[in-house]
Amino acid sequence: MDKAIYSETFVSDMFDSMSLSYEKMNTITSFGFYPLWRRQAVKKIKIKEGDHVADLMTGIGECWESILKKTGKTGKLTALDFSAGMLKKARIRKQKYLSYRIEVLQESVFNNSIKSNSQDVVICAYGMKTFTEEQVTLFSKEINRILKSNGQFSLVDVSMPRNKWLQKLYLLYISEVIPLLSKWFAKGDESYKMLGVYSRNFKNAKKTAQLFAESGLYVNYCEYFFGCATGIFGTKP
């Protein structure tokens, strides 16, 4: 495994490159599944009105609507990402929610200014696959740090399906079809080829669940649509 592709600089540059076409490409290539899995991940936990929620690796803020419906105007959403390109789009999205409390931070998930024991909930969609096992351990410790006692978390990412035929079709799609579509809809952005590389290496969230449990968190593993996406959710003791 080429560890260079997991450096924060490489991943940040990749998402900066994709930021101009990311929303369009997601809409075209996901057949509605990516938004659906985001919503399902948010529903895995109980967000209450007034809760403080951290959306880590927020991207362009596609989880916000599902979160804000639950926190209401008395809650607070902290949206964090290291990609300047993605956050430029997120800040535009923020204008739709002027009556809500939203803080946007351009910071690393491994080194950020979110206060310890300050968050009721942590959400992260489609960020796990860009981590090595060492980074997942660091990530779990950071989530443990910022969550309040009994705080909840839910993470989701695209994965390799269990069925071998579905897996072959899925790999073909994310490794060949999506990069081909990027030539038409993303001006040939080579970054989209990396999604297949990360997904193959990631496989699913089972190892992530194990590493989160080793960090002292209560963890549940879950699958979406025959394992085409997997996630973890749980609580801090």
d(CA 206, CA 227): 11
Report d(CA 87, CA 18) in Å as an integer. Answer: 12
Residue 188 has pLDDT above 70, yes or no: no
Q: What is the mean pLDDT of residues 203-212?
A: 97
Of 51, 40, 38, whose CA–CA distance to 150 is shortest? 51
d(CA 34, CA 47): 20
- Residues 81-107 have a mean pLDDT of 97
Q: What is the mean pLDDT of residues 150-163?
A: 94
CA atoms of 237 and 82, how far apart (whole Å): 28
Using the predicted structure, report yes or no on whether residue 135 has a pLDDT greater than 90.
Answer: yes
Comparing 68 with 161, the larger pLDDT belongs to: 68
Sign of CA dihedral 134, 147, 231, 12: negative
The answer to whether residue 183 scores a pLDDT higher than 70 is no
229 pLDDT more than 90:
yes
CA 158 to chain centre: 10
DSSP 95-107: GGGTTS-EEEEE-
Q: Burial, 100: exposed, middle or buried (Cβ in 10 Å; 0-12, 13-18, 19+)? A: middle
- Among 29-38, 62-71, 155-164, which range has the highest average pLDDT? 62-71
Sheet holding 102-106, edge to edge: 102-106, 76-81, 52-56, 119-125, 147-158, 229-235, 218-224
Query: For residue 176, what pLDDT band results from cuts at 50, 70 and 90?
Result: confident
Q: What is the pLDDT of residue 2?
A: 75
Q: Is the pLDDT of residue 222 over 90?
A: yes
Kindly list the structural domains of the chain, giving each domain's residue range(s) and its CATH number in brackets, ordered by start: 3-160+204-235 (3.40.50.150)
Q: d(Cα 35, Cα 233) in Å, to the nearest integer? A: 18
5-42: pLDDT as tens digits: 999 999 998 888 877 767 666 666 666 788 899 999 99
Per-residue pLDDT at 186? 46
